[in-house]
Amino acid sequence: MALINLATASGLAIVLRKQKRWTKRIQALVQIPLIILLMSATLFPILATRDKATDRMSYVAPHTLDGMEYMQSSFFSIWMAYRWICRKTIGRLNGCRKM
């Protein structure tokens, strides 16, 4: 993933450097989508944090440091996925609690 980011950043730098030669119309056609993409990328962490918290956090969760106990009361289906993995890999996966 880091190589894709590096290639994208260098490609963007090349495009922005060469845009001085373009007409104003082509510059606008390139700059407007880039600005919209940048604005949406900066808004995503702000807007997604609340949704992720309400999706995965439960108000009735026990106040404990035991993650297994929390998973049983969470809205997200982590507990069911964990139980399925433990059932399917019995004897191969250390750390699965008895259910």
Provide mean pLDDT across the span 52-76: 72
Is 6 a residue whose pLDDT tops 80?
yes
Strand, helix or coil at 94? coil
Residue-wise pLDDT for 73-98, tens only, equals 766 667 777 777 777 776 555 666 65
CA-based torsion, 69, 72, 77, 79: positive or negative? positive
pTM: 0.49
